[in-house]
Amino acid sequence: MGVKEKIMADMKEAMKAKDMAKVSTLRLLLSEIKNKEIDKKGELSDEEIYALIQKAVKQRKESIEQYKSAGREDLVQKEEAELKILEAYLPEQLSEEELEKIIDEAIKEAEAATMKDMGKVMRLVMPRVKGRADGKVVNEMVKRKLGG
């Protein structure tokens, strides 16, 4: 069963259980998937769907930060609930140790020594961690490793 099929099945179950928060979150996600498929004129791969989910997760995290600074606790809770639902569909996230190992390998491979080499390292790391690590976290770890 592909990711899209799992999302559709989970949405049907959420409808039966009358879990409206989950239904609306998954419905929104499915409409985004459908729009991308229309743009692409074909089915999306699981990787492309993971990228869409990752984008939605990032949007929720940014919204949570903004709502917290505005003191809107009601909206923070709504966004956090949606975030939890979306994160369940992402592949398991890499641990800090696994991520560090991948970054160390990329630094050796790129023969990176200074912050000037950060772009080379990021180009090697990001495809390897796609969907399994937050780009912001990767960026911070690479900076720390390169002495930035």
The overall average pLDDT reported for the chain is: 89
Cα–Cα dist 99/7, whole Å: 28
Residue 132 confidence class, pLDDT cut points 50, 70, 90: confident
CA distances 2 to 7, 8, 9, 22, 57, Å, are 9, 10, 11, 19, 19
| Percentage above 70 pLDDT, the chain | 99
Asked whether the CA dihedral 36, 40, 44, 47 is positive or negative, the reply is: negative
Per-residue pLDDT of 38-62, as tens digits, reads: 999 999 888 888 888 888 988 999 9
Residue 14 confidence class, pLDDT cut points 50, 70, 90: very high
CA distances 94 to 7, 47, 108, 148, Å, are 22, 16, 20, 23
User: What are the structural domains, with CATH classification, of the chain?
Assistant: 3-87 (1.10.1510.10), 96-145 (1.10.10.410)
* 94: pLDDT strictly greater than 90: no
Torsion of CA 117, 122, 127, 128, to 10 degrees: 90
* 116: pLDDT strictly greater than 90: no
